[in-house]
Amino acid sequence: MQIVIPLLAAVFALVAAIGLCFGLFWTFNNKASPWVGWSLVTLLCLAALALTLVVPSPFQYYVASRAGVISTLAGMGSKAVVLAFLLVSAVGAVLAVIQRMSHNSGKAVHHFDNWALIFWASLLSIIGASLLSALFGIVKVRPWSGDFRKILYFPAALIMVWHFRDVLTVGLLQRGFLILANFCALVSLALLPVASIAVTVPGTEYLPGFNSRLSGVLGTPTTTGFIAASAVLLYIFSPEIKSRARIFWILLNLATLILAQSKASLAALFALFFVGLLIRPNGTVSQRAVAMCAIGLGLCAMPFFLMDASSRLSNSAAQEVATFSGRMQIWQITLDAWKNNPIFGFGPLLWGPDFRRDYAPPHLFNLVGMAHNQFVHTLGESGVIGLLALLFHISVVGWLSFDVRKQDGGVSMLLWIFIIIRCMTEAPFLNHTISANGVVLLLLYRHLFLKEKKVGLKIVTECRRPEMNAPTKVII
């Protein structure tokens, strides 16, 4: 009986997903009323909800909790992405049943990581769409065509929708992020003189006379520095931002970055400043903003170079730099846990309370909640499968960022490189809530989606323009 119920639930979910695929194809091809499509979408959500009640698993977030997913993706005008989401619902149901059956049979396996789900669902989406196209001609998907390219957006789309939580919208995301970053910087700096205990945490004295690291409204000093550096990048390189107070906000966020003493964000911003000048077209950068940022970055770097080199080699600061602030020990603990299950990893409870009790030393029990390296964390959480999925996703997003660099002035590439750098010391792809990491990822995906639509409209306009301007032939 324990096996029959999950099997029946899986059959029910698969039949519902297949029926909804054809229903949505029917709707998108104008062969039925749109109400039919949305009714079928509602049915899918109910079916997925019923499935998760019978087979509880981490996949409930993918197949049940996003009632507005289809409408969000459909609003972007991509049939292939909608198809991919429906297929991933079916794949999630099957994996959930396999997982439950493994537990019931006594051969428990750890949870599949979300990256493994995204990886296999992306491949199955491409294969499934191609087969449907060949057999029925319902969806025309040709290799390396426009529709095929949109399927590659699926991993980004799924992560983006995951983070939305029905609060953010694509159009207001960038402006809302900058307002949030500026507000947090103002509050943190304003409270610094009168309530330093509330907004600072103990840290190494990199700045003379300031032996604490500035925290903030968003969280830790590392997060505060990451948000501030991202805001500086957008203010300098995004062509959409035309604020008269741009220089003021740049200096404000630079001050926040300096006091937060986030070494990785500071180094990344310094490098990306010059990378941005190389990949952007000439004449599209605010010269005043560039000058002010260069001065600010120079001031950021001065305390590090003015400190005596010999003393740095003998104090705790040198030890922090050599061990990545103690992260190497965390990486080694994660890798030791991964070796117990190289294929699937430890599971989503990596660095949870049970993991810390069994693997972590006492001094790390209440301080560490992740592996502080995205690649090591994914490997430990979901094994080789999850790491391949992560590399697949990052590669696709990087390729798309490079492809639209001329349309967005290189902003997508800069954000992508910044996130990759952050992956070395943090885990920005963890999908748990609306966090600073998630918001910056959304900024990158927002640029990719909007530029994709603009490029498509531009191509259509240029194709139609010769016909509109063609001379009229008069037959006598």
DSSP 400-434: HHHHTHHHHTTHHHHHHHHHHHHHTTS-TT--SSS
Number of alpha carbons in the 13 Å side-chain half-sphere of residue 185:
26
Q: What pLDDT shows up at residue 58?
A: 38
Q: Could you tell me the pLDDT band of residue 197, with boundaries at 50, 70 and 90?
A: very low
Which amino acid would we find at residue 140? K
Angle of helix 114-136 relative to helix 154-164, nearest 10 degrees, comes to: 130
Give 453-475 pLDDT, tens digit per residue.
Answer: 454 434 334 444 444 444 444 33
Burial class (CB in 10 A: 0-12, 13-18, 19+), 2: exposed
With a CB cutoff of 8 Å and minimum separation 6, the contacts of 69 are 85, 161
**C-alpha 429: how far from chain center:** 5
Tokens 């800069």 correspond to: 414
Query: Mean pLDDT over residues 162-187, rounded?
Result: 60
Q: Where are the domains of the chain?
A: 4-164, 170-324, 326-463
Least confident of 149-158, 289-298, 421-430: 149-158
What is the spatial distance between Cα 253 and Cα 110, in angstroms, rounded to a whole number?
Answer: 42
**Contact between residue 60 and residue 19 where contact means Cβ atoms under 8 Å apart:** no
Token pair for 400: 């798309």
Give 268-288 pLDDT, tens digit per residue.
Answer: 888 888 788 776 654 455 555
DSSP 368-394: -SS-SSHHHHHHHHHHHHHHHHHHHHH
Q: Is the pTM of this model over 0.85?
A: no
Q: What pLDDT shows up at residue 203?
A: 52
CA dist 153 to 39, 83, 114, 239, 397, Å? Answer: 25, 12, 16, 23, 8
